[in-house]
Structures are given as C-alpha cells and as structure tokens.
Chains A and B, each alone.
Chain A
C-alpha cells in the first residue's frame, strides 16, 4: 500500500519534471530545510525516507542538513532558533524538549492540521504521547522510541544452555541470576560473558544506570530552585551492581563503546547492553543476534529510552505554505516508519507497530514491549540525551565503576553537582 503510493508519486514526479523541462516546476517547488543528527546507518535510512517523501510530494523538496550528535547539534539549533532563522523542521530527542519549549525556541504543533493527515493522539503509545506535551501543548511528534536493550548471541547462549523452549534467552530475575548466566557465557567465549563499553561516555553509564534505577520503582525529580529528589538507596544499589559487572570475567574492566561493540560483534561475549540503533551493525556482521529488554533484576520492568521527535523551530516569519508542507512531510515519514524500524528503532506510530510487516521483523519484535516500560530522563532544562548533565554523571561515577571510589561517594558527588545546577538561575 505504502510502496504503491510512493511508486505513483515517483511516476508523477518524474512526469512533471520531464513535461515541464525543470524550470517552471522548480519555481513552484517549495524548499524545506530539515536539520537532524542521524548519522551512520540511521542517517542512510533517514535519507531514503526523505527521498521517498520528496518523490511522493512534488510540491515541496525537503533538504536535510546532518549535524554532529550531542552538544554541537543542540547548540546550533538553539542559536539558529534564538536568531529567528532556523530550519522549518528539526529532529530533537524528546528528553531535550523541556530545555527548548519554555524558552520559545520551538513552536507547538497544530493538532487539527496534523489530524488532516490522519495523525492523532491515538496514533501514539500513551507514554510517548505524554512525553510530547509541555504545559498542555504538543511540542514534539515522536518518530520512534529507542530504548537501551540487551543484545545476545544465540550461538553462545545455546552452547551455554541458556536458551528457553521458545528459542529465546532465559530471563534472569535477580542480579545473582544475571551474573551466573554471564559467567556461563564466559565459559563458552573464553573472553567475557557481557560487553558493555562505558569509559569516557556519560551517555552509556547513564543509560544503564537509569534502567536499573527505574527497575527499583524509584523516581527522580529535578525542580529548579530545589534540591534533587531521588532514592539514594536505589541509586547506590544500581551503581554497586554495575561495578560488580566489571570483574574481567562477566565484563571487561575497561572498555569504551567501540571496544564493547567490537567485542560482541566478533563473538567475544554472549551479551551486550546497548541502544537498539546498533542492530544493523550486528546484522551486517552476520552475527546470530537476538535481543530483549534488559532483564528485570530489581522488581519493576523498566528501560531507559529516548525518542527522535520532530519539532518546529520558531521562525521570525512563518511561511504558512511551507509549514503545511512540513505537516504533510512528517505524516508521510511516520506512515513510512517501517523502514525506520529496520534500523532497530521502535516506531512511535501505532498503525505501523500493529502491522503484520512489523510483527515479522526479528529481533525487533522481541523488544517491542519496551515501548510500554520506557523511562525518559527526569525533566529539567539541563537533562536529556547528549546533555552536560550526562557528562557530569560520568565525571562523578566513572571512578566508582573502575573500582576506585565507593558507590555512595560517587552518587553523593553527582547529587551535589546536580544541586548546583538546580540552584543556579534557569536560563531557559
């Protein structure tokens, strides 16, 4: 159905170009600037989706600009918006929206206009739709949710006798069970049971920590002007469990993201904690890979996640025609997000998730339940993916994971650092 529409669109576009000789039609094509931070496999997928949408809509042409992930992207987007000449459309992590919406850097979405294209609140899972709200308005439209999950090597798990009757990895229900499973896998690989690269990466440390913290059923609140509200016991227990992983049997004592991924990809370990976006890497490496959400070790199912979401950076002068095109473009991309799911992400648009084609995607379907248990970063102007706050987490916690500091000391230092941020004037 979708491919049929696109094919018709491309035929029409080709005919229009051929018939008009280019010039006349070029004048009526509206150019839409679109910034995103998706590189690697994600970037290639996004480019293909944009090209498809462009072909299906001869009235506009979306020009993507790809910027480096993290602080460079968010700084440039904020500066462009503050200056009033940002792109017509941009991708942000949903967790970063609270740092942009109150300051007027992005505009709310018009739900009536969106519903004209068949996209409504009912098109999204409740957790994801809730996250798109700020002060009662919708500031972001999620394309996906991308949780932190557990990949595993089916061959290694099979040899270690850890596969269940359904061919999937048995579930661990406590830290001890998980460590025992990892040690069984280590006997098979002779290297490590689990790969988890974290050195120098606040994002990686935070993703696993927050998953484990939320599995305690604990909450975290950041209110400017007030000290951070958190469950210290849950935090310290989570950090202690993380530290217990790095004994050079369960997992390598010192590894960064790339060494962790490389180790898992060459069969040096049975499991890997990482983001779903790594899936294409392992498929390409022809690894017998499967995946699941990180096992519930502390009672409450939870998975750290974020969403790539569409936002409307505030323009000095809004071109209504272009803005209408943006709504059409976004709805086209959402409806075509099955190909985005192939890159590992869980589509936010429910009709895609409920489609037969998505149900046939493995291992994606094995962690699709994550959409119901995902936890976004606690909201503050300084939190979220690629934020300084995650860097501060690395600064205070890396030495705990390396076995040099006590978990309680590392956590206390992070709380102090956070409280300093909360005590300062909110710049947004």
Chain B
C-alpha cells in the first residue's frame, strides 16, 4: 500500500493505465515501477477476490469456528446452558449407540450406492458411445431425472413403493411374485432408497463418462482394429485405461455426495423403519433442531467432518500413488 502511494506517479506513463502498459519490464526487481505495478495488480486482485473472500469468511470460516466452539458448550436451541463443558459432548457422542448406528447407515449407503452409480453410469455411457440411433433421446432421458428436485423424486418413488397401491408391487403381483414392503422392511428400505437415488442421480456421472469417452482419439481404435482387436478388447484395453482419471474423479465425487445423504431418506422413510435408514446428517439435524441440543449436534458434525477429511486424505494418497 505505501509503495503504491509513494512511487506511483514518478515513472507512470502518460496516457497509459499502469496496469495495461505494453512494455512490461522483465527482471527489474527493485525498480520503482515494478513495485508499483505489482502492488496495483495485487490490489486489483484483492478487489476481485474480496466479494468471494467475504462470503468465504462469513459463511464458511466463521460458522466452522463457531460450530467448533459450540461443540464445546452445552448450548441449546432455547439459548440455555451456554457454558463451556470441554469435550463432554464428544465423549457422549462416542458412547452414543444411535450416533454409531446412523454413521454406519451413512457408510453402508455410501458403499452400496457408489458402486452402482459408477458402474451403471459407465455402462450407459459405453452403450451410447457405440452409436445407438436417436442419441439425443437417450442423453435427455438419462440426464433429465438429475434435474428434478429431491422432493419430487421422493414423492414419486414413495408412491411407486406404496405396499398396497404402488405400481411396483402391483407389477410384482401380476407376474406372480410376492409383494415387497419396500420402505417398511429394515432389510430392504436402504436398497429401495439406493434404487431411487440411482435413477435420480446417475445421469451426472453418465454425462462425465460420455464426455471423457468422446475425447478418446479415434486413431487408437482404428489402430487397434487394424491389429485385430475386437470390441471388448478395445473397451478393456483402450477405453477403460483412458477413462482412469475420470473414474477416479467420479468415484471421489460420488463418495462425497453419498456421504452427505439426507433429503431422500428424510422424505421417503424419515430414517425408518426402526432407524434402519437414518443417516448421520439426519441424526445431526434431529439432535440440534428437534432435540434442541445444538452443542451436542455440533460435536457429532465435527466427528463426521473428521471422517470426511480422513476419506479425502486417503483418496488423495491413493490417487498420488497411482499417478506417481
């Protein structure tokens, strides 16, 4: 700031904005003009970044720090018990069977949803990439569900899964199979939610895969077919290896998205039956907003945050080793 104020005008070029000078000095560190321009550029940079930084500080950093502070207090929604109680909330959370159960549900959902969401997307993209007719129709119908709101998807599937009047059970009965209590059987409910989620969100991964596949140079396939490689051989020896970076990215994004599961579950089963589908995000919500215990809820959020950081770090090391 001070260098800007003192050295700016002495060597400023008439008629040219300092930041836009065409004759840019190279290797003149220490000259007044460079410092001046550097500072000006810095200032401009800060000015451009300021709105984002302000939002970042107000809506991310501050809540993050305040949440951490809150997790160390007994704070409630009514404003009572604002005193610091140390790690008592963390100790209680680690001994809370419901917390572990909901965390287990989240991990279970992440595992059983990520696998089909990646594989089905890959298969859909591969099918489309071989040149099916009416490509636009397939693309639209695969991607369109992704644009729907979670409420719409949840309502839609709740009706389809209705044990008495639902389309799915009706079809099952017509072909001679027994009815399934889709959202009311603890062993089935999570899978029912995975099916709904798959239909809803697979289009995004599909689109990423399709874009990556269409970027693979055609010469690779030409050369391979000249060498006598069949379609399967080409898929496993050219397409899949070329897609590796995309796959890593999709898996990472999918894991993070699945860990955040909340909307569909809350609307389709409210965490039931018997807590079989309650994800940890819902438990955080319940502890804080309907159970009034904000401090305790914040502590569980931080435990979950730690888990996500651990997954991300693990992912980082795995991808670094692969690329090294």
Contact = CB atoms under 8 A, between A and B. Distances in A.
A82 B78 contact: yes
Contact of A382 (B74, B76, B289, B291): B291
B45 interface: no
Contacts of A424: 92, 293
A236 interface: no
Interface string B271-287: 11111000000000010
Interface stretch (B180-188, B235-243, B308-316): B180-188
Nearest to A396: B274
Contacts of B292: 78, 99, 381, 427-428
Contact of A255 (B81, B98, B163): B163
A391 interface: yes
Contact of B269 (A200, A382, A388): A200
Contact of A259 (B81, B165, B273): B165
B290 interface: yes
A200 B78 contact: no
Interface in B62-113: 74, 76-81, 92, 98
A300 interface: no
A262 B273 CA distance: 23
Interface in A390-423: 391, 394-396, 398-399, 402, 420
Contact-size category for A: 20 to 34
Contact of B275 (A82, A262, A395, A420): A395
Interface in B162-193: 162-165, 181, 183-184, 186
Contacts of A394: 272-273
Contact of B77 (A78, A259, A396, A425): A78
A74 B286 CA distance: 12
Contacts of B81: 425, 427
Nearest to A70: B290
A113 B250 CA distance: 65
B186 A399 contact: yes
Most chain B CB neighbours (cut-off 10 Å) among A99, A255, A394, A425: A425
A103 interface: yes
A75 B163 contact: no
Contact of A103 (B80, B92, B164, B291): B80
A427 B162 contact: no
Contacts of A395: 271-275
B199 to A, nearest CB: 21
A402 B274 CA distance: 12
A258 to B, nearest CB: 8
B78 A388 contact: no
Contacts of A105: 78
A254 B77 contact: no
A392 B60 CA distance: 33
A79 B273 contact: no
Interface in A365-384: 381-382
B184 A398 contact: yes
Contacts of B160: none
A303 interface: no
Contacts of B181: 199, 254, 402
B270 interface: yes
Given A75-B290, A200-B183, A254-B181, A427 B273 contact: no
Contact of B78 (A391, A402, A428): A428
B80 A398 contact: no
A79 B290 contact: no
Given A79-B77, A394-B272, A254 B163 contact: yes
Contacts of A82: 77-79
Nearest to B268: A200
26 contacts: A71-B289, A71-B290, A74-B290, A78-B292, A103-B78, A103-B79, A199-B184, A254-B163, A254-B164, A254-B184, A255-B163, A259-B164, A381-B292, A382-B291, A388-B291, A394-B272, A394-B273, A398-B272, A398-B273, A399-B273, A424-B293, A425-B74, A427-B76, A427-B77, A428-B76, A428-B292
Top 8 nearest A-B pairs (CB, nearest first) are A427-B76, A103-B78, A427-B292, A75-B289, A71-B290, A259-B164, A254-B163, A395-B274
Given A398-B272, A420-B98, 8 more contacts: A78-B77, A199-B181, A200-B183, A394-B272, A395-B274, A395-B275, A396-B274, A425-B293
Interface of B: 74, 76-81, 92, 98, 162-165, 181, 183-184, 186, 269-275, 286, 289-293
Interface of A: 71, 74-75, 78-79, 82, 99, 103-105, 199-200, 252, 254-256, 259, 262, 381-382, 387-388, 391, 394-396, 398-399, 402, 420, 424-425, 427-428
